[in-house]
């Protein structure tokens, strides 16, 4: 199963992607996380991406497409994967179609988290992230138990450089102008629009409700296991 998680910056894609991927037992691939890792490792790709990301623009299609193609050729992606933040342009969507056809993978299922634009800046500027496990917090709606540190591994939380108000505004503008048209590309396929202005657990329930009928028998048993974990973790109560 190939899933594409769409939505403007701050719509909650990062929060949902880990949960969905755990539930289905497939890898969650975030091109934003991959690019940040390239920057941190000081690679040529990281060097090319750094200033573009700092300004809130989009890294070139060629670079991102090549990075993505390499990542999904890893053995863990052979039977499917979830993409968070890709494709962001129509060119990337066309490239992905070619890649899926080559690998005999099915048409992707598109989940679009729709959040009113005026809620996004506040959500992003109050966002914090664990640099180690990548878990996302929000100081207003989902704060960590102990201020400033990750609940899961105690690592000090960071604010992403591109979550400043100025860059956030540019990222939202880029989404509106360049990425929103990609939704039209998928509209007549397996496309599901989900209201993203509700609690993470409510959204997750809606997503699992959409996906449950689509997963195979094997997938269904992995879903049941994850659901048991979900209630023992208590995240249904979030």
Residues labelled catalytic: 13, 88, 127, 160, 171
**Cα–Cα dist 90/172, whole Å:** 17
Classify strands 109-114 and 2-6 as parallel, antiparallel or unpaired: parallel
Binding mask 21-50 toward ligand AMP (x if CB under 6 A, else -) reads ---------xxx--x---------------
Considering the complex, what minimum distance in angstroms separates the CB of residue 151 from ligand AMP?
A: 21
Binding mask 145-184 toward ligand AMP (x if CB under 6 A, else -) reads -----------------x--------x-------------
Classify strands 81-84 and 2-6 as parallel, antiparallel or unpaired: parallel
Q: Does 11 bind ligand AMP (CB under 6 A)?
A: no
Contact 177, 58 (CB under 8 A): no
199: Cβ–Cβ under 8 A, 6 or more apart, which residues? 141, 238
**Maximum CA pair distance of the chain?**
47
Nearest to 64 by CA among 104, 30, 103, 114: 30
Considering the complex, what minimum distance in angstroms separates the CB of residue 14 from ligand AMP?
A: 7
Q: Does 12 bind ligand AMP (CB under 6 A)?
A: no
3-state class of 164 per DSSP?
coil
Binding mask 92-131 toward ligand AMP (x if CB under 6 A, else -) reads x---------------------------------------
Residues in the site for ligand AMP, rule: CB under 6 A?
9, 30-32, 35, 52-53, 56-59, 64, 85-86, 88, 92, 162, 171
């Amino acid at each position: 199963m190939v899933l594409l998680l769409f939505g403007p910056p701050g719509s909650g894609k990062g929060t949902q992607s880990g949960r969905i991927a755990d539930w289905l037992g497939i890898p969650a691939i975030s091109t934003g996380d991959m690019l940040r890792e390239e920057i941190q490792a000081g690679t040529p790709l990281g060097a090319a991406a750094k200033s573009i990301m700092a300004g809130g623009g989009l890294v070139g299609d060629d670079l991102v497409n090549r990075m993505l193609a390499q990542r999904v050729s890893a053995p863990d992606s052979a039977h499917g994967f979830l993409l968070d933040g890709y494709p962001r342009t129509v060119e990337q969507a066309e490239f992905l179609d070619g890649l899926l056809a080559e690998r005999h993978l099915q048409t992707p299922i598109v989940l679009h988290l729709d959040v009113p634009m005026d809620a996004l800046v506040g959500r992003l500027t109050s966002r914090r992230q664990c640099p180690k496990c990548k878990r996302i917090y929000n100081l207003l709606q989902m704060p960590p138990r102990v201020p400033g540190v990750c609940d899961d591994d105690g690592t000090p939380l960071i604010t992403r450089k591109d979550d400043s108000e100025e860059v956030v505004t540019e990222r939202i503008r880029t989404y509106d102008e360049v990425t929103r048209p990609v939704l039209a590309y998928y509209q007549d396929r397996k496309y599901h629009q989900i209201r993203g202005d509700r609690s993470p657990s409510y959204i997750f329930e809606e997503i699992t409700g959409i996906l449950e009928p689509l997963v195979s028998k094997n997938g269904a048993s992995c879903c049941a296991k994850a659901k048991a974990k979900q209630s023992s973790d208590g995240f249904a109560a979030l």
